Every structure is written in C-alpha cells, then in structure tokens.
Amino acid sequence: MTFLERADARIHYEVEGDGFPVFTIAPGGLRSAHALWDKMPWNPRVALADTYQVIGMDQRNAGSSRAPITAGDGWGTYLADQLAVLDELGIERCHVLGMCIGGPFVAGLLMAAPHRFVSAVLLQPVGIDGNRATFYELSDGWRDDVRADHPEASDADFESFRSNMWDSEFVLTATRDQIAACATPLLVMMGNDQFHPQSTSREIAELAPDVQFVERWKDDDVLNETDATIKAFLAKHTPS
C-alpha cells in the first residue's frame, strides 16, 4: 500500500496503468474508497488502466485512510487531500472522474484548480433536491461507525462536520453560476434516485457551456455503449 503523510492525515492512494493520468474519485459517500469501484457497473480500474494512468484514493477516514475529525472539516478538507495526492505524484494536468459523492468532489476541484483538469466525467453526481435529511441520516450512520476510533471528536464536532458537508445547495461545492462559468469539458451520466437526483444531473447539463449528457448508462444492456462513450470523451480531450 502507498500512503501520503500530510499534517495529521494518512491518505492511501493507488496508481494503476500507464499513460495520461485519470484521477478517479470513488462512490460510497463518506466511505468513498478506491476499492469500491470494483462493485460498480462501470469500473475505471478495469476499463482504463490499459490506456491511462488511473489514480485513486481512499478519502480520509474511509478505506485505509485515517485522519482526525474536527468541527472545521468539510469539502475543503477533502479537496486539500485530493490536490495533495496529485502534487505527491507530480501531476500537473489530468482528467478527473467521479461517481456519487465524486460529483461534488470533482466540482470542487474544478472550482479550485481548473487549470489542472483537461476534462471531467461525473457519474450520477450527488445533489440537493428535497433530500437533505437523507444525507443527514447517512452522515449519522457513518458517525456511529467511526465514533469509537475518534475520541478527539465531540458530538458538536460531528454535528458541525455534518453541517459543513450537507447544508449547501445544488451540487454542494459549486453554485449554479459557477457551473455556468465552468470551461472544463464535462461528461455527465445522469443519476436517477434520491441520492443522485435526475434534477441535479440535468441542471448541470443545462448550465455548463461544454457538456455531453447521457441519461441511461448503467443498465446491463447499455454498458458497452457507456464504456465506449467514456473512452471516446477522454480520448477527445487527452492532450497529444
């Protein structure tokens, strides 16, 4: 296992394959870990590693990554870890691809460092549309699972962290105006459940100036087409 030691965090990451880099952010909510790709209908570790350098990480306090929990933690804390992994590997430009919670993570990266990403793929991005209580519930379940490993964190710390993560709107890490001004080419694969609302995917596709939108992508009968679409999109935007 390869780890990045930064401040008081220990972040596990993996590099697979060779070629132009694709930075992947796995699904799983606050349990987002690179190995979870192996359970998804489309898996970049399998689909892309013969052509690209596929980089993935366990987010802090998921998988094999560990860090303390504080009241100030939120999207920006994860963002700093993600950029630190790219810095550790000396990657100045790459594709970025995220699923589920990876959607807001990708949006945050595009807002913070747009010059580093030549394209972005969002697979059923998480978004807020009358479902905030659902994310509160998921966050509280995660808290109960990790609490014993975090004696440094009080109930107030966990509550503040939950608020920092889920009290924003839309895609949580970017406003509608910011998405409308995002120049990075996007491929959006639509979500269709309460965690990944259709409305979020559709609104991103309506707002973004350079976007390809796919409504149906994860059913068995279209997975070959999904694979071809993602590979064609990445190839189109890979620097020569």
Mean pLDDT for the stretch of residues 93-116: 98
Helix (H, G, I), strand (E, B) or coil at 140: helix
Residues in the chain: 240
Residues 220-235 have pLDDT tens digits of: 999 999 999 999 999 9
pLDDT(87) > 90: yes
d(CA 153, CA 222): 45
What pLDDT is attached to residue 7? 86
Q: What's phi and psi for 212, nearest 5 deg?
A: -115, 130
Gyration radius (Cα) of the chain, Å: 17
b/e code 163-192 from CB counts within 10 Å (16+ = b) = ebbbebebbbbbeeeebeebebbbbbbbbe
Mean pLDDT for the stretch of residues 81-93: 98
**Contact, 186 vs 180, CB < 8 A?**
no
d(CA 33, CA 29): 9
Q: Which run of H or E residues covers position 57?
A: strand 53-57
With cut-offs at 50, 70 and 90, classify the pLDDT of residue 116: very high
What pLDDT is attached to residue 1? 79
What pLDDT is attached to residue 187? 99
Residue in 230, 175, 225 with CA at minimum distance from that of residue 204: 175
Residues 189-220 have pLDDT tens digits of: 999 999 999 999 999 999 999 999 999 999 99
Q: How far from the centroid of its chain's Cα atoms is residue 23's Cα?
A: 9
Sort 64 into a burial class: Cβ within 10 Å, 0-12 / 13-18 / 19+.
Answer: middle
Helix (H, G, I), strand (E, B) or coil at 168: coil
With cut-offs at 50, 70 and 90, classify the pLDDT of residue 123: very high
**Contact, 94 vs 20, CB < 8 A?**
yes
pLDDT(94) > 90: yes
Question: What percentage of the chain exceeds 70 in pLDDT?
Answer: 100
Mean pLDDT for the chain overall = 98
DSSP 97-142: EEETTHHHHHHHHHHH-GGGEEEEEEES----SS-HHHHHHHHHHH
Mean pLDDT for the stretch of residues 52-71: 98
Q: What is the DSSP letter of 181?
A: T
Residue in 32, 84, 22 with CA at minimum distance from that of residue 54: 22
pLDDT(160) > 90: yes
In the structure encoding, which two tokens stand for residue 82, read together? 């993600």
Is the pTM above the cut of 0.85? Answer: yes
Tell me which CATH homologous superfamily contains domain 2-234: Alpha/Beta hydrolase fold, catalytic domain (3.40.50.1820)
Q: Within the chain, how many helices (H) and strands (E) appear?
A: 8, 8
